[in-house]
Amino acid sequence: MTTKNRQETDLPWKYILSLYFKPFMELCWQKRATEINWNKKPRFLDKELIKITKDAATGNRVIDKLIEVELIDGNRCCILIHLEVQSTKQADFSKRMFVYRYRLRDVYEKPIASMALLLDDDPSWRPCSYSESLWDSEITMRFPIIKLIDYNEQIQGLEQSTNPFAIIILAQLTALKKQEIELKLTQKLQITRKLYTLNFSKKEVLALFRFIDWIISLPKECEAEYMKNVAKLEKEEFGKNFICPAEQLWLEEGMEKGSAITAQKIAMKMLDKKGISIAEIAKITGISITELKRLKDKKH
């Protein structure tokens, strides 16, 4: 996977895990989710994690997450959850888990739980331990893994679940499948439709919609068809208008991706809108973030 493609996977996952950490734990690590005091909001320490791991030989990744949670026990103990999300098979992944673990342990005087969420499509790659030994000395680390492709055996359960993270898993599994474009378009629409059948707030619908649209990529002509179908779905079937301003503006302009002049024109309008990030505009228009920043500076 290229750096660009990896970032296209990492960024939406980093975003969605921050929003839906509790649903993730309740669906994927249920046993431990029951031990957390959810009345106290989890504290995300991603910036601190970057400081600790930035010069590690195994390389830092933006997807890594460090979360402080309070447990339900007599002492109200706080622990750190070190979560690694890995999108591709990597030979030294277990070593990275070990390196990050001991660095965190060296800095924080709190118990640490490490786990890995694996997004790749290789069923045989299941790194779950690291060990070193010399003479009569040895050190071993074991950590639980969640392999998303294992959920292919639970599709029906995911489709019936009211947990928003079930939609996230369905989207990732669809993105991994090698299938005809028409079928992928149909499945993307089916997953999107599920957003409106559950009692989600507008904010939740928007966040999940953006994740689905980002993860399940389609050819330019199919993206335009997808957006038109979403607009039709909202208006005719559910009577709701939840899609974000950037996508709505795109539809109102009646333009498709691919034309540099058209894309730039729409980007200029989006830059004037509040609440639309440059990253979102880049995703919608296909214009690089660097070029969008240049356009924004030019406007001001």
What is the residue extent of each domain of the chain? 3-143, 179-299
- Give how far Cα 185 sits from Cα of 213, 229, 245, 262, Å: 11, 10, 22, 24
Cα 109 to Cα 187: distance, rounded to the nearest angstrom: 46
Kindly give, in sequence order, each residue whose CB lies less than 8 Å from that of residue 80, ignoring residues fewer than 6 positions away. Answer: 45, 66, 67, 68, 104, 108, 110, 111, 112, 113
pLDDT at 283: 66
Give the torsion sign (CA, 273, 278, 283, 289): positive
Running DSSP on this structure, what letter comes out for residue 238? I
pLDDT at 284: 63
| pLDDT per residue as tens, the chain (300 positions) | 443 444 455 678 888 898 999 999 999 999 999 999 999 999 998 777 777 665 555 544 545 789 999 998 866 688 999 999 998 899 999 999 999 998 898 888 889 999 999 999 999 999 999 999 999 999 999 999 999 999 999 999 999 999 999 999 999 999 999 889 999 999 999 999 998 888 888 888 888 988 898 889 888 778 878 888 887 888 777 777 666 544 555 545 544 443 444 567 767 777 776 667 787 777 666 688 888 888 888 766
Packing angle, helices 220-232 and 245-253, rounded to 10: 100
Cα 282 to Cα 12: distance, rounded to the nearest angstrom: 13
pLDDT at 60: 47
* Closest residue by Cα to residue 14 from 265, 207, 247: 207
pLDDT at 261: 44
Confirm if 66 and 46 have CB atoms less than 8 A apart: yes
- Cα angle 5, 8, 14 (rounded to 5 degrees) comes to 135
* Closest residue by Cα to residue 257 from 220, 204, 218, 211: 220
Q: Residue 115 forms beta bridges with which residues?
A: 83
Tell me the chain's radius of gyration from C-alpha atoms.
21
Please state the separation of Cα 22 from the chain's center in Å: 14
pTM: 0.77
